[in-house]
Amino acid sequence: MEEFESRTGLALLSGLTEALGALPCLEDAPGRRMFAEVLAQQLGVGIDLRGTKPREDVVSLVRAALSVPGGERVLVSVVKVFEGTAAADEMDRLIDPVAGPADPAPHWYGPLSPRDVATARALLDEVVDELPWRGLRDGLAGETGLDLPVGLSPAQLLSHVLEWNTQPDGLPPAVLLMEHAAASVRSPDRRGALAAWAEDWASRAGLLRELEHRRTARADARGDDPSIPRCLLLLVEPTRDGTGDVLVRPWINTVPGRWNPLPAEPVMTTLDGLGPAVELALRQMARLSPLSQEPSTGFASPPPYIEFVLPYDLLNHDVAGLALRTGDGGPLPLGVRYGVHLRSLERMRTDDVRVRHQWRERWRALQTHGVSVYEWQETDARRQDEWQAGLAIEPRHTAAVLDAPGSPPSMGALKAAIAEGIGVALWDRRGHFPPERREVVTAVFAAVPAPAQIPVAIHRLRRQAELRRDGPLLMGRSIAFFWDDPTRLVDIHETDTDFDMDTIDSEESGA
């Protein structure tokens, strides 16, 4: 290649070859092939290695990088992925005195301040190992209509788009680049930091509404499901080792319309400490959703969901009544602020194909035909088998209203309903569910325009129960609501607890 003919090019080739050849990740042929695969993907070029002579392979890697403008910086970024920051910094020091600064700061940043650009670059550098460089370029080019070069690292792409004019709605391409980067990383903290940068800039520029319109347009283009809300899902499982401890494993779904929950740090606590554990997870969820709004009581906008995946023996535990304190105000029940649902640990964990099939079919019937209630009460205990047979024979029964699962017959009825695929169930936690209270539930079901609005209706019932301390709606304080959607699962088959588990700090939790 012609650029290698110069003394500077030869010096750079030689220096990078020596530094790269000393890296442990390139000692064997499989390691070199893996490195070449990642480098080729980020450069957008093909790289062929013979795999017989290590130095020859290393020369091929360096030549491939130097064949692309700015490719030496891409090479440094890939080294950072494989060997860490120290090795990447060492290579960076080789590049700067020989090749000069490959990514100089532009003299004009348009609507972005030098501080904006510096913080954006720092954030992109932190997530470079998670970003699909070609996908980032293609997504930004598709949204903005700009003809963007291929093979640039995220930081180089940022420098490039700083020279372009703002879009018709006033948003600079650099801000949209950070949005696409946020959508591309899987780490919740990194995603939140990138999204917060864009929101902070848009807020200062008076363009928050335009930013939200862009996000909505992207969601529509993806075909997002409006019934999927922001959600905190908490698996609560007793250790059953005689200590009374429970393991709480959270997942956080921060983006409405898409089910892509990311696991958060597990916590070992007790049932009495469950409230503080929920508060810790909620604080993390709030950090990842800076633009989130307060939950609505209307049907149009579902509140954030908090879903507890519980074993059978905890399904009647009052999780909706857990006290939640905000700031210096007094504690309020969790169900007042959030849509609180129960889900079955045993069913989500099962590998029985028949159970999963019946679950999906019953849920599909709910979406197609609406709510058809199948009732059970203690007087049905004498015909338990007949009751379950009726549920199995009639697939259009899509919801169950039961007495609380506090006795063996009641628990048996709930287990039967779950086994037969029922995804919606309600009961009064206090025990017997008399007819006058069941009529309230029937009215709630009749009022919803679509099954997806049932959680919102139950949330409203709980809020009204806190406002009106008498009358039939008071039952909202003791209602247990089972809403187990088979289309929104998490991988809970992992039971290995060989990780660094946090225990709730009494000072942080206020316990």
Average pLDDT of every residue of the chain: 81
Q: Cα–chain-centroid distance for residue 424?
A: 24
For residue 479, which of 421, 424, 430 has the smallest C-alpha distance?
Answer: 430
- The answer to whether 261 and 337 have CB atoms below 8 angstroms apart is no
Within 10 A of 306 (CB to CB), how many other CB atoms are there?
Answer: 25
Taking the C-alpha atoms of residue 337 and residue 320, their distance in angstroms, rounded to an integer, is 10
Encoded amino acid at 142, one letter: G
Q: Using pLDDT thresholds of 50, 70 and 90, give the confidence band for residue 471.
A: low
Q: Which residues contact 150 (CB under 8 A, 6 or more apart)?
A: 44, 134, 137
Measured between alpha carbons, how far is 194 from 172 in angstroms, rounded to an integer? 15
Given a cut of 70, whether residue 291 has pLDDT beyond it is no
pLDDT at 222 over 60: yes
Spell out the domain ranges in the chain: 2-99, 114-222, 231-483
3-state DSSP of 61-97: HHHHHHCCCCHHHHHHHHHHHHHCHHHHHHHHHHHHH
Q: Can you point out the beta strands (E) in 160-293?
A: 231-238, 245-253, 262-263, 267-270
pTM of the shown model: 0.58
- Eight-class DSSP state of 28: S
Q: Report the C-alpha gap between 77 and 79 in whole angstroms.
A: 5
- Residue 159, classed as helix, strand or coil, is helix
* Residue 497 pLDDT class (50, 70, 90 cuts): very low
| 298 pLDDT above the threshold of 60 | no
Distance of alpha carbon 477 from the chain centroid:
30
Q: d(Cα 350, Cα 337) in Å, to the nearest integer?
A: 31
Residue from 79, 235, 86, 207 nearest 153 by CA? 79
Is there a contact between 174 and 143 (Cβ–Cβ < 8 Å)?
A: no
8 — pLDDT class (breaks 50, 70, 90)? very low
Residue in this structure with the two tokens 């379950």, named with its chain if needed? 388
Helix ranges, 206-273 (H): 208-222
Question: Which residues have C-beta within 8 Å of that of residue 416, sequence separation ≥ 6?
Answer: 384, 387, 388, 391
Among the listed residues 77, 70, 58, 68, the one whose alpha carbon sits nearest the alpha carbon of residue 16: 58
Residues 397 and 113: their CA atoms lie apart, in Å, by 60
How is residue 311 written in tokens?
Answer: 């074993």
Q: What is the pLDDT of residues 299-347, one digit of tens each?
A: 344 678 999 999 999 999 999 999 988 777 788 899 999 999 999 999 9
Instruction: Give the DSSP per-residue string, 444-501.
Output: HHHH-SSGGGHHHHHHHHHHHHHH--SSGGGGGGTEEEEE--TTS----------S--
